[in-house]
Amino acid sequence: MKNPARVTLVLLVIFLIAVSGPAVAAAPQDLAGHWEGAIEVPGAKLEINLDFVKQADGTWKGDISIPVQGSKDLPLAGIKAEGADVAFAISGIPGNPTFKGQMSADGARITGKFSQSGGIFPFELARAADPAAKAKKALEGFDEIVAKGLAQLKVPGVAIAIVKDKDVIFSKGFGFRDVETKLPMTADTIVAIGSSTKAFTAFTLGTLVDRGQVEWDKPVRNYIPWFRLYDAQAGERLTPRDLVTHRSGLPRHDLVWYNNRTSTREQLVRSLAYLPPTADLREKWQYNNMMFVTAGFLVETLTGKSWEEAVRTLVFDPLGMSRSNFSVVESQKDKDFALPYDEREGKVVKIPFRDISIIGPAGSINSSANEMSRWVTVHINGGKYGDKQVIGANTLADLHTPYMTMGGVSTRPDITAPDYALGWMVDNYRGHGRVHHGGNIDGFSAMVSFLPNDGLGFVILTNKNGTGLPELLIRTAIDRILGLEAVDWIGDAAKKLAEGEAVGKKAEEKKTTRRRPGTAPAHKLDEYGGDYTHPGYGDLKVTLKGGQLGFVYNGIATPLSHWHYETFNGGKAEDPTFEDMKLTFRTDVNGNVVGIAIPFEPSLDDIYFVKKPDARLSDPAYLKSLVGAYTLASQTVTVSLKGDMLTLFIPGQPVYDLVPEVGGEFSMKVAKVVRVRFLEDAKGQVTGLEVSQPGGVFEYKRTKG
């Protein structure tokens, strides 16, 4: 039978690698300050750290932390320091955990016995430098490294905040938020954080879990009854936890939402029923922004508020993040905001803001390094900010727990491949557990990262598209603060970047080698024009202006040039999203252009957009002009209008509904192979109709209108 005292002790104290600082001389009775040490149990040292403060009335206040356990600042009670004798107990923990010992003559150490539930174990504490002060000192000279990163990776500006436990030990901006006018980046500059937003959405759901409004592992359909996926069974089983762990079975399907300014979030969620998966539910990890939109819509459904209102109420307000917002439109109203930049053809250029409010729960938050420092403070302090318990400690621990392997392979033996938690990635960095999530959206790159067991948090925000600088600076800062072997992360990355650019240029030079020369389109250019649609991706328009084909999707206009056969290539445009994307037109048996296949989702076959029939074929006024009797030989057929649909009656047969088709004709709903075309004279008057079927084409003359 196990010793109950030992079981309780193990639950209380978990392993920690303590960081001891230099001893500070003090009088024996001077208990004030920071202490680090361990309790010795058979076969192990259970490491702890404590802080004591002498209050104005002469009494003592203190706390103890067990970092590996995630226990921070547990209050101490009964603190006594009389001469060399020191005693105190951990408040609120079963078994009356008590420390009794003596301070050394130089005030540098305390040794004694720890007791809990009848078990007695030796402990030793050493006076140590204040952890925040020690970490801050380790960052001396860090400014020069940041400057090197900006120069070598060609990044306009960066804002940085670093937190140790509850203290912000580094908070600065470097470079420019506006290159043209030389406006400096500051720690208060508002910058887009991109997909680092996802953790806010998961956190907000977590607060609702704490309130009993939702359960992580109940089906989403319990809360949104109409929710559907392409795979009906997966849609019935999908849970809120699945939404925020990228295990829905769907690939990205990002072009459904990218630059989409007309749909609502509900419409995006409903479109999931038409987006094919590439795996079964929970089979593998696949990054999917649409699932986080669904998580945000779930928040809206549960709270009766917009996702934005819910996040502000449940997260921003408790943390005092008053300037943080949810739209780059709002950012531009602030007095201190960063402009977006990208590197194109070797030059860093300003690019337009991309309003992604529609996908807000997956990536639309904008904030500053200073305000984001409060966000990481909550995560390294058990869900507390100051005296506020913003989220339950157990719920927060769940948010940080990996639920899906991401399937990656580490390129270094000292950094593990990440797994995915709830809105966070989790890995082990050079022997230290790490939780993090990056963010990349047009013109901005961010990284939010923290080491829970070390009480360290990092926020690095930049105004350049797709730069790896945030992660490199975080690695450098961690190495310095924890005293790890130095690595030239920035120099190595700059070298690899230059090599990659050279390879990329050679590859670009060869891109036309896949083109079949000497081919021509099968149709006149105007036959490709028109409106096309997909039930999940929405509408796409092909245009013809000045002899140049082009297409518009989600408001992004792109010129098209003939590539080969029925395939056209996306050309250079103000918005380069579809540059070099290939569109292949499809023709039906009647020679009509009826659709376009486009590689909108790389992990699937091309997404197929169906061409819409001429709009006038659904116009009641035009349809009314077709109503009447039509005769061939001794047979008369009748065309009638039923609501907004034409019908055809052939004596002795049922009434057939006529469906509009591409090419200005109709098909029989029950027999698509049968086509009906109305004939007009030079004045546009309807003179007859043709019925085309496999056996021939029959022409009827209009006899009554």
Question: What are the pLDDT digits (tens) for 153-186?
Answer: 999 999 999 999 999 999 999 999 999 999 999 9
Amino acid at 269: V
Q: How many domains, in total, are found in the chain? A: 4
CA 79 – CA 103 distance, rounded (Å): 14
- Whole-number pLDDT of residue 28: 43
Examine residue 201 and state whether it is found in any structural domain, yes or no: no
Q: Are residues 585 and 607 in the same domain?
A: yes
- Report residue 622 CA to chain centroid gap: 48
- Neighbouring residues of 261: CB distance < 8 A, sequence distance ≥ 6: 355, 358, 554, 555
| C-alpha dihedral (79, 82, 84, 87), degrees to nearest 10 | -20
Domain end among 129, 151, 186 = 129
| 26 in a structural domain | yes
Q: Judge contact between 407 and 285, C-beta under 8 A.
A: yes
Residue 624's alpha-carbon distances to 318, 529, 620, in angstroms, are 63, 27, 6
Residues 539 and 454 in one domain: no
Structure tokens at 199: 């953790």
CA distances from 110 to 24, 107, 128, 525 (A): 13, 8, 12, 87
Dig out the tokens for 222 from the structure: 């319990």
pLDDT of 70 reads: 66
Output the pTM of the full model: 0.90
- The span from the CA of 569 to the CA of 577, in Å, is 13
For 341-377, give one letter per residue: b (16+ CB within 10 A) or e.
bbbeeeeeeebebbebebbbbbbbbbbbbbbbbbbbb
At 386, which amino acid appears?
Answer: G
Q: How many angstroms separate the CA atoms of 609 and 552, rounded?
A: 13
10 Å CB burial of residue 492 (0-12, 13-18, 19+) is exposed
- Please give the Cα distance from 494 to 469 (Å, whole number): 10
The pLDDT value recorded for residue 2 is: 39
Angle at the Cα of 300 from the Cα atoms of 298 and 304, rounded to 5 degrees: 130
Which positions ≥6 away from 653 have C-beta within 8 Å?
none
Structure tokens at 135: 């970490």
- Domain for residue 472, yes or no? yes
Which pLDDT does position 29 carry in this prediction? 62
Asked if 557 and 659 sit in the same domain, the reply is: no
pLDDT at site 206: 98
Eight-state DSSP code of residue 190? B
Same domain, 649 and 581: no
31 and 49, same structural domain? yes
- Across 554-649, where does the E strand assignment appear? 556-564, 567-570, 582-587, 593-598, 607-611, 628-632, 635-642, 645-649
Task: Name 655's Cβ contacts closer than 8 Å, sequence gap at least 6.
Answer: 640, 647, 648, 649
Query: In the structure encoding, which two tokens stand for residue 363, read together?
Result: 């990536």
Distance CA 297, CA 212 (A): 18
Handedness of CA 309, 313, 314, 317 (dihedral sign): positive
| CATH number of the domain encompassing residue 124 | 2.40.128
Distance between CA atoms of residues 470 and 100, nearest Å:
46
The counts of H helices and E strands in the chain are 17, 39
Contacts with 133 (C-beta within 8 Å, 6 or more apart), sequence order: none
Q: Are residues 489 and 553 both part of a single domain?
A: no
Task: Let me know if 61 is exposed, middle or buried by CB neighbors in 10 A (0-12, 13-18, 19+).
Answer: middle
- 508 lies in some domain: no
Give CA–CA dist 353/443, Å, rounded: 7
Model pLDDT for residues 70-105, shown as the tens digit of each residue: 678 899 999 999 989 999 999 999 999 999 999 999
Q: Are residues 431 and 314 in the same domain?
A: yes
- Supply the range of the domain harboring residue 582: 525-611
250 in a structural domain: no
- Residue 398: CB partners within 8 Å, gap ≥ 6? 206, 216, 422
Q: How much helix, strand and coil, in percent to the nearest 5, is found in the chain?
A: 25, 35, 40
Domain for residue 276, yes or no? no
Query: What per-residue confidence (pLDDT) applies to 68?
Result: 66
Half-sphere exposure of residue 288: CA atoms within 13 angstroms, side-chain side = 31
CA 456/CA 138 separation, integer angstroms: 13
Residue 108 lies in a domain: yes
One domain, residues 22 and 45 = yes
Check which CATH number belongs to the domain holding 536 and give it: 2.40.128.50
Cα gap 560→255, rounded to integer Å: 18
Which amino acid does the sequence have at 410?
A: S
Residue 258 makes CB contacts below 8 A (sequence gap 6+) with 356, 359, 554, 577
Distance CA 705, CA 691 (A): 18
Tokens of 603: 């992990």
Structure tokens at 163: 């937190």
Residue spans of the chain under pLDDT 70: 1-29, 68, 70
Sign of torsion over alpha carbons 496, 497, 499, 504: positive
Tell which of 129, 158, 177 closes a domain: 129
Q: Which residues pair with 366 in a beta bridge?
A: 192, 325
Q: For residue 512, give both structure tokens.
A: 């036309």
Residue 33 lies in a domain: yes
Looking at the fold, whether 439 and 541 belong to one and the same domain comes out as: no
Q: Are residues 22 and 96 in the same domain?
A: yes
- Examine the fold and report which residue of 560, 591, 611 is the final residue of a domain before the chain moves on: 611
Q: What are phi and psi of 619, to 5 degrees?
A: -85, 115
- On whether both 531 and 671 belong to a single domain, the answer is no
Task: Clarify whether residues 592 and 487 are in a common domain.
Answer: no
